[in-house]
Amino acid sequence: MGTRTPRELIEIYWDEVYNNCRTDLIREVCADPIIRHDAGSITPLSHDEQIERVERSLRIKPYFTHRVLHADDRFVTSVWNMDSMDGKGVKLCGIEVFEAENGHFTRCWNSTYMKGFWGEDGDLFDPAKLTAPPLLETTGEITAQWLERAFAAGGAVVPQRIAIEPVVAPIGHGTSGTTAQVHMGYNVGTVTAPTDVIAKFGRTKGVSPGRSPAERERLTYELLGNDAPFRKPRLWFGASDETGLTNLVLEDLSSKTRPGDQIAGCSIGDARAVVRELAAFHAAWWGDEQTLALDWLIDHREMLPLFEAGAQKLGPWLADRIAADDLALVEAFRLRASDWLAVTPKRRTLIHSDPRVDNVLFEDGPDGTAAWIIDWQLPAAGDPQHDVAYFLSGSVSPSDRRACERELVAEYAALIRQTVPGYSDEEALESYRGNVVAGLWLTAIATAAIEQSAHNANLICALVERNCAAIRDWDALAAL
């Protein structure tokens, strides 16, 4: 018998070793060892190891056919399809390149095996045929196929397949779930599909009772819709199960925005952009009693025990950094918080409840700064000035707030009057004063929920100082 050519070797390898289950022929067609090349590593396989590997795969009775087969005097390339003959319907495809020397395969390079057969002419990608993806525990489990199914389930027009496995870069510390930026690539010239998204996965537990914050955020994004008349990320996909596990795939705005910094606070110009966006958000749901009656919205009264726990925790944790008169004011509000919660708002709309500056992204453009509102985990039905007072009392320095707040509340009222003619500046200011305590309310609740780290200490101290200054400026406890 003469030396076998690479073409003869590949025909024996597929047709005899695999299709006819003759693993003994591995000793004739493969070197001992053969070197398997994978991404980032190689694996030498002896004849016995190669036979053991192949025999494991023969359990599904694989049958290989060549879609493309090319050989020269040294290399052979097989573009193959595999159909299982055990009745389970397993179909795979892949590409393998072998190097031959002296009538034996000495090396092989294996691509990742893929489900299904290689596409043929006319087999255009049809996202309508994709089924909804399973829910994932962590963003590290995201694959190209999962994203394709998520986009299809979310109703996004994504006509191209994702060409390579996505790059998943974690964001944050993952204490209550996992959040990541995900980058995708496509095998097309003109890309009309998203190339970057934000994925938020987990059974997050938060400061509010009832549904998990992650599930409530999904419900909020679905309620607001992707054509909302204010700036927020687009929801590409959202789903939850009965355990509270939630997967969100959101528009990634990082390439055109800058994040807010809660400890540093924001400028008056940035604050104006947020107040304008809050007005657009509130106007869209003003007086919509059907929406405001949804049973999954936050009821702030149910958060009173958390507020009291946080208010009582501030002293033991940060008494050496928070002024004594501020701690006294916190205690005074703790004794009156139920009075504030008992007030029936004259005006009601859908509110964010937590529009602090680090839940805002800022977009700087030729016409000025615009604000994008994110992190919709605490939506509620309430007084619209709750959001305005909460934001200004915690996200702007006391001196800047004093310089701009009356003007910004008046600007907010003027924007609302475009849809609610009777909303006067005087009514807005009175409501604003009655809700200045909203900042300290959620600062105490956050204190009850977060870990006692150095960063969180700086955050809470900054918030308490700003919140208490605003309450004093407006004599807000008297307003209760």
pLDDT digits (tens, 9 = 90+) for 267-308: 999 999 999 999 999 999 999 999 999 999 999 999 999 999
pLDDT, position 175: 47
C-alpha–C-alpha distance, residues 277 and 393, integer Å? 17
Q: Does the pLDDT value for residue 176 go beyond 60? A: no
Question: In terms of Cα–Cα distance, which of 189, 478, 233 is closest to 376?
Answer: 233
- Residue whose C-alpha is closest to residue 423's, from 480, 347, 353, 345: 347
Question: Which tens digits make up the pLDDT trace of 121-170?
Answer: 888 788 888 899 999 999 999 999 999 999 999 988 777 788 888 999 99
Among 274, 428, 404, smallest CA distance to 352 is for 274
276: part of which helix (H) or strand (E)? helix 268-285
pLDDT > 70 in the chain, percent? 97
Say if strands 104-110 and 30-38 run parallel, antiparallel, or are unpaired. Answer: parallel
| Span 174-196, average pLDDT | 80
Distances (CA, A) of 361 to 256, 294, 372, 379: 9, 28, 5, 18
Q: In this structure, which topology does domain 6-115 adopt according to CATH?
A: Nuclear Transport Factor 2; Chain: A, (3.10.450)
What length is written for the chain? Answer: 480
**Whether 237 contacts 146, CB under 8 Å:** no
Amino acid letter, 224: L
| Residue in 62, 84, 73 with CA at minimum distance from that of residue 13 | 62
Query: Which residue ranges does the chain devote to CATH 3.10.450.50?
Result: 6-115
Which of 63-77, 118-132, 200-214, 325-339 has the lowest average pLDDT?
A: 200-214
Domain with CATH 3.90.1200.10 in the chain: 258-479
**CATH 3.30.200 placement within the chain:** 131-251
Q: Using an 8 Å Cβ cutoff, are 62 and 84 in contact?
A: yes
Supply the pLDDT for residue 165.
Answer: 86
Q: Are the CB atoms for 369 and 269 separated by under 8 Å?
A: yes
CATH architecture for the domain at 258-479: Alpha-Beta Complex (3.90)
Query: 65 forms bridges with which residues in the sheet?
Result: 81
Looking at residues 167-178, what average pLDDT do you find?
73
How far, in Å, are 9, 59, 62, 142 from residue 37 at the CA level?
A: 19, 24, 22, 25
Instruction: Report, in angstroms and rounded to the nearest whole number, the Rg of the chain calculated over CA atoms.
Output: 31
Name the fold adopted by 131-251.
Answer: Phosphorylase Kinase; domain 1 (3.30.200)
Q: Is the pTM above the cut of 0.85?
A: no
Using an 8 Å Cβ cutoff, are 416 and 427 in contact? Answer: no
CA distances 160 to 127, 192, 250, 454, Å, are: 9, 8, 19, 46
pLDDT for position 293: 97
Per-residue pLDDT tens over the stretch 225-248: 999 999 999 999 999 998 889 999
Question: Do 231 and 369 contact (CB within 8 A), yes or no?
Answer: no
123 touches 93 (CB < 8 A): no
Q: Residue 430's pLDDT is what?
A: 97
Q: For residue 33, say if its preceding peptide bond is cis, omega within 30 degrees of 0.
A: yes
**Mean predicted lDDT score pLDDT of the chain:** 93
